[in-house]
């Protein structure tokens, strides 16, 4: 019975706080959220292949391995996802934002703590001087007290939704960090693919240059013998030597370029990644993605999703800034016992309790609250501008990638035809020279142009493959929505309103 009497005030305070919390759940001063209209056209300027909504949905939910089908490229991308330090930092930022949300959310609930203590005070021996001997004998040399209590410390009753809006803002910041991490993953996949393609392009160009160098070294040997026997002029030998030196310089240049590109790929992957020599893969190494409509970017692009979460957080911050103008009610409560004897600590007559509600109202803040609200509104407007900028940037990225695919495919076809023509020209000029119908300068010019055309064709083939990588990144990749654990154990619904 005594214990019930001791803890009854605390239970009443908890019930009152719970009722206030339910009331606070119905009140919020944050402005209603409405996603801004898309500041881009409804269609891309570049023509796109016809595709259905089901095709686009399937493309968005597929794994990145369905797009980068070359086994060697898949292995490199997998290593990058496991070891890249930038992606690791982005993952840690998500954990940081989640912890910050958990801290902010905890302010919505009361913090209950318990304490127990022992106090001993020594009494001076001369304290009883001047007292009657009988009374002086009753003065103890030591005072001892025991206490135990449990209570709520300064819990704010969130009548106006200030704490809840701050918690909601932290939640959207956490979701924004998760989407930013998703964007970092898509960007890493694209960077790795581009670095790998650049290395393969250099390998192919180096092989072409080395083949030309070997042929010209043989030609230099043959012309050297011809000069020795007087069958040709030293001018022709000089021209052959110049061809050989040009090829030799190109081989050295490409070898240096390959080493630099290998170092760049190692940095992206996060570990040494030796790549076997070999040329560019075929066009089927990268799957063609359906571009769909600009509105699809709202759900597929991680940067747009992150910008929208930042916008939602800014709306919640306005609600918290508005609530700061209104009275703030806090509750402090405690119940416990105290006794001079440990055995009597929970005995009859040892109970103690405290119930201390408080209310505070800002009267004069020199414009601090007004400026804080203005700051929240300006940040909301900036978040709107950032959201619209993200949409416009995504629209441009897709448009550029589509235009690049169409233009580069045409250039690859033209350069392939040019290579065939240049090879035929080099063969015919060599025959004319061998039959004495022309000077070697014509052969020199034809072989120089053939090598240049082969180099350009390789570069253009890599650019075409890179445009497909760019379209993959511009459409938001294929990783889908990130996995976001909610500390409140509530299921996260769609980020769209």
Choose among 220, 213, 244, 236: nearest CA to 438.
236
Report pLDDT for 134. 67
Whether 472 contacts 398, CB under 8 Å: no
- Whole-angstrom CA distances from 468 to 44, 94, 406, 474 are 17, 29, 11, 10
Tokens found for residue 247: 């090829």
Q: Report pLDDT for 400.
A: 92
What per-residue string of b and e applies to 213-237 under the rule 16 or more CB within 10 Å gives b? beebeebbeebeeebeeeebeeebb
Question: Do the beta carbons of residue 257 and residue 202 sit within 8 Å?
Answer: yes
Q: Do 159 and 27 contact (CB within 8 A), yes or no?
A: yes
Residue 262 vs residues 190, 198, 203, 233, 267: alpha-carbon distances, Å: 16, 9, 11, 44, 9
Q: Give the position of tokens 């206490």.
A: 147
| pLDDT for the residue 297 | 84
> In this predicted structure, what is the pLDDT of residue 50?
53
Whose CA is closest to 243, among 211, 220, 210? 220
Q: Which fold has domain 37-108+161-326+368-474?
A: Outer membrane efflux proteins (OEP) (1.20.1600)
Q: How far apart are CA 98 and CA 95, in angstroms?
A: 5
* Total Cβ atoms within 10 A of residue 297: 25
Q: CA geometry: angle at 10 spanning 6 and 16, to 5°?
A: 145
Q: What count of Cα atoms within 13 Å lies in the side-chain half-sphere of residue 83?
A: 16
Beta bridge pairs of residue 113: 151
Q: One digit per residue, pLDDT tens: the chain, 497 residues?
A: 334 433 444 444 444 444 444 444 447 888 888 888 888 888 887 766 556 565 566 555 568 888 898 999 999 999 999 999 999 999 999 999 999 999 999 888 888 888 888 888 876 766 656 667 666 666 666 777 888 888 888 888 888 889 999 999 999 999 999 999 999 999 999 999 999 999 999 999 999 999 999 988 988 888 888 888 887 788 888 888 988 999 999 999 999 999 999 999 999 999 998 888 888 998 888 887 777 778 888 888 999 999 999 999 999 999 999 999 999 888 888 888 877 777 777 777 778 888 888 888 898 889 999 999 999 999 999 999 999 999 999 999 999 999 999 999 999 999 999 999 999 998 998 898 888 787 777 888 888 899 999 999 999 999 999 999 999 999 888 656 777 665 544 334 333 33
**Exposed/middle/buried for residue 435 (C-beta within 10 Å: 0-12, 13-18, 19+):** exposed
For residues 473 and 397, the answer to whether their CB atoms sit within 8 Å is: yes
For the chain, the average pLDDT equals: 84
Q: What b/e sequence results for 252-261 when a residue is b if at least 16 CB atoms lie within 10 Å of its CB, and e otherwise?
A: eebeebbeeb
Q: Are 314 and 376 in contact (CB under 8 A)?
A: yes
Reported as a single tens digit per residue, the pLDDT across 281-296 is: 988 888 877 777 788 8
Write down the pTM of the prediction. 0.82
For 43, other C-beta atoms within 10 Å of its C-beta total: 10
Candidates 445, 313, 331; CA nearest to 17 is 331
Sheet of 112-122: strand order equals 112-122, 142-157, 328-339, 351-360
Which pLDDT does position 152 carry in this prediction?
A: 85
Write phi, then psi, for 364 (nearest 5 degrees). -145, 115
């Amino acid at each position: 019975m005594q214990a019930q009497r001791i803890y009854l005030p605390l239970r009443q305070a908890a019930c009152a706080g719970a009722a206030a919390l339910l009331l606070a759940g119905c009140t919020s001063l944050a402005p209603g959220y409405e996603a801004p209209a898309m500041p881009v056209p409804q269609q891309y300027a570049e023509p796109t292949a016809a595709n259905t909504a089901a095709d686009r949905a399937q493309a968005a939910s597929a794994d990145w391995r369905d797009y980068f089908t070359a086994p060697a490229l898949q292995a490199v991308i997998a290593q990058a996802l496991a070891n890249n330090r930038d992606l690791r930092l982005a993952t840690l930022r998500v954990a940081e934002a989640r912890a910050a949300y958990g801290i902010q959310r905890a302010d919505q609930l009361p913090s209950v703590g318990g304490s127990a203590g022992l106090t001993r005070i020594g009494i001076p021996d001369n304290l009883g001087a001047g007292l009657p001997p009988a009374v002086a004998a009753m003065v103890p040399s030591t005072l001892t007290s025991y206490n135990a209590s449990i209570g709520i410390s300064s819990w704010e009753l969130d009548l106006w939704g200030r704490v809840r809006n701050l918690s909601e803002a932290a939640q959207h910041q956490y979701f924004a960090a998760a989407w930013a991490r998703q964007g970092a993953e898509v960007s890493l996949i694209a960077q790795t693919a581009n670095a790998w393609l650049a290395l393969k392009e250099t390998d192919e160009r180096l092989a072409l240059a080395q083949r030309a160098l070997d042929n010209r070294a043989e030609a230099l040997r043959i012309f050297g013998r011809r000069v020795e026997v007087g069958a040709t002029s030293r001018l022709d030998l000089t021209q052959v030597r110049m061809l050989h030196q040009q090829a030799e310089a190109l081989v050295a240049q490409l070898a240096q370029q390959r080493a630099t590109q290998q170092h760049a790929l190692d940095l992206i992957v996060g570990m040494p990644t030796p790549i076997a020599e070999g040329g560019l893969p075929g066009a089927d190494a990268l799957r063609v993605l359906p571009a769909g409509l600009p509105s699809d970017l709202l759900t597929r692009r991680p940067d747009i999703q992150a910008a929208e979460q930042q916008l939602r957080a800014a709306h919640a911050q306005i609600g918290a800034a508005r609530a700061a103008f209104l009275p703030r009610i806090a509750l402090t409560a405690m119940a416990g016992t105290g006794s001079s004897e440990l055995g009597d600590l929970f005995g009859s007559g040892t109970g103690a309790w405290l119930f201390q509600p408080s209310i505070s109202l800002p009267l004069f803040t020199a414009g601090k609250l007004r400026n804080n609200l203005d700051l929240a509104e300006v940040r909301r407007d900036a978040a709107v501008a950032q959201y619209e900028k993200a949409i416009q940037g995504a629209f441009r990225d897709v448009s550029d990638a589509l235009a690049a695919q169409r233009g580069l495919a045409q250039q690859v076809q033209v350069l392939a035809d040019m290579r065939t023509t240049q090879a035929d020209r080099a063969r015919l000029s060599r025959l004319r020279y061998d039959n004495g119908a022309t000077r070697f300068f014509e052969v020199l010019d034809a072989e120089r142009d053939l090598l240049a055309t082969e180099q350009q064709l390789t570069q253009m083939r890599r650019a075409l493959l890179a445009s497909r990588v760019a379209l993959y990144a511009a459409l938001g990749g294929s990783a889908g929505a990130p996995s976001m654990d909610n500390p409140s154990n509530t299921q996260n619904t769609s980020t769209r309103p």
